[in-house]
Amino acid sequence: MTRLSVNINKIATIRNARGGNNPDLVRVALDCERFGAQGITVHPRPDERHIRYQDVLDLSPVVTTEFNIEGNPDDRFIELVKRVKPAQVTLVPDAPDAITSNAGWDTVRHADHLRRLVDTFKADGIRVSIFVDADEKMVDGAKAVGTDRIELYTEPYAAAFATDREAAVAPFVRAAQRAHELGLGLNAGHDLSLDNLRFFNERVPNLDEVSIGHALISDALYYGLENTIQMYLRELA
């Protein structure tokens, strides 16, 4: 079964809108685990507009499932990850002013940089995943720099799903097959939802983990957090 990691950035966004500590991010993370989530994902950005660096430090000692920290590996991010030593770090090439992640790494062009990062994190026993587009050349490049896993950027799949789902998923199937041939673990994330998740999971082989935040938290406004997590888990069964 593909594992579900819940990205709790949107919970932090709600909290930050009013200040204070409501909703309590740590409590929500623990509730997500209690309700069946198999991982917690956070994506701290330099401006701390949602997840704060202190949040990561607060979550680290209490998260008992897989803790995944994703983000653009600037110096502050690297220092944070090395201090926390999560189960997994996901390297994402975000511009500082990006609203959300919008592209994967060019693993060929940035090979030297990525290789140094991978070596740095793996030396601390942290599993490394690189965020990539569904492009077999980028998968090959990720393997060449020594990463443990890749995370496929799934927004293009989600955007095309309603028009032609088979065409939308085809490049992801090819990328997944190539990752498996190379011995890479496979994650996926971005705009996966109750509408498109089951089809993606059924078609894309050897999928280890999906990271879902925006859609899941939005659905929880209607269905409740516990029920929503169970609904997503059923899509992955």
Catalytic residues: 43, 70, 190
Which residues are 70's β-sheet partners?
Answer: 90
CA-CA distances (angstroms) from residue 222 to 51, 66, 123, 189, 237?
23, 27, 43, 22, 22
CA–CA dist 135, 147 (Å, integer): 16
Nearest to 141 by CA among 214, 91, 97: 91
89 contacts 128 by C-beta, under 8 angstroms: yes
69 contacts 90 by C-beta, under 8 angstroms: yes
Residues whose CB falls within 8 Å of the CB of residue 169, separated by 6 or more in sequence, listed in order: 157, 199, 200, 203, 204
**Given the structure tokens 């990539």, which residue do they identify?**
132
CA-CA distances (angstroms) from residue 181 to 87, 172, 176, 177?
24, 14, 9, 6
